[in-house]
Amino acid sequence: MVRLFKAFIVSLVAVYVFINGPRFYSTLEFWLNNIQPQDNSAAASSVIQPIRLPVSESDQQPLPNRATIMIERIGVSVPIVFGVPPVNETIYENLANGMVHYSLTPKPGQSGASVLLCHSSLYPWQVNKYGAPCALIGKLKVGDRITVRYEDGRIFNYSMKQSLVFNPLTGEDNEKLQELERSARPLLLLVTCWPVNTTQSRFALQAELE
């Protein structure tokens, strides 16, 4: 009986580690990347004054349908998938290709709240380098930068302002989110399942265009 009990415990631990392996790996990678000391002396000593430039003609053109979102603090650099119909099944299928732009909202860089949907976890057998870009989204802090770069070279930098957790089924605790969605300011909302490895709630991160 003792041997049987030990074998059961070992098997249980092995299954837990297998299921949570991707999350453990992402957390370890984040921790290793952030224990290195950073020398900010050069950046602090040299301040570049902004220069007013003529308005570029490219700024007046429609935004392309190909872009990359980068979050340096958590090592994210993935495509943004545009043109996805607002249908749950179709959105879910495209989440394996990066972050999905919710097509009923403005594109990043435009006025209003742009909503990007992303996975925070995958099953261990789902091998995909773009599969869970929001696994470490909870580690972002106020002021962290989120950059959107379009294929034509236009870049939009956002700064994180706040985060909130809400229940998508009951509608509880999401009044603040609805208020943000109606905003005319150029905002970016990253929405993912929360906590990691569950679909219990949703985590929404709000960032504002710098």
Residue 200 within a domain: yes
* Rounded-to-integer distance, Cα 105 and Cα 146, Å: 18
Residue 112 lies in a domain: yes
| Percentage above 70 pLDDT, the chain | 75
122 within some domain: yes
**Helix, strand, or coil here: 157?**
strand
Query: Is residue 54 assigned to a domain?
Result: no
Question: For residue 82, what are its two tokens?
Answer: 């545009």
Residue 180 lies in a domain: yes
**188, burial (CB in 10 Å: exposed 0-12, middle 13-18, buried 19+):** buried
On whether the CB atoms of residues 119 and 128 are closer than 8 A, the answer is no
| Residue 45 confidence (pLDDT) above 60 | no
Query: Quick check: is 165 in a domain?
Result: yes
Q: What is the pLDDT of residues 121-134, one digit of tens each?
A: 877 677 777 878 99
Q: How many domains does the chain have?
A: 1
Query: Domain holding 71: CATH number?
Result: 2.40.260.10
pLDDT, average across residues 59-70: 91
Distance in angstroms (rounded) separating the CA atoms of residues 79 and 132: 12
* 204 belongs to a structural domain: yes
Q: Determine how many CB atoms are found less than 10 A away from the CB of residue 104.
A: 9
How high is the pLDDT of residue 12?
Answer: 72
Average pLDDT for 63-79: 96
Report yes or no: 101 and 78 within 8 Å, Cβ to Cβ: no
Contact between 188 and 108 (Cβ < 8 Å)? yes
Specify if 115 maps to a domain.
yes
**Total-model pTM:** 0.74
Distance CA 73, CA 51 (A): 28
DSSP percent split of the chain into helix, strand, coil, nearest 5: 30, 25, 45
Full residue range of the structural domain in which residue 78 is found: 66-209
Dist. CA 73–CA 62, nearest whole Å: 30
pLDDT at residue 42 in the model: 46
Q: Quick one: what percent of the chain has pLDDT higher than 90?
A: 54
Chain segment 145-160, per-residue pLDDT in tens: 999 999 999 999 999 9
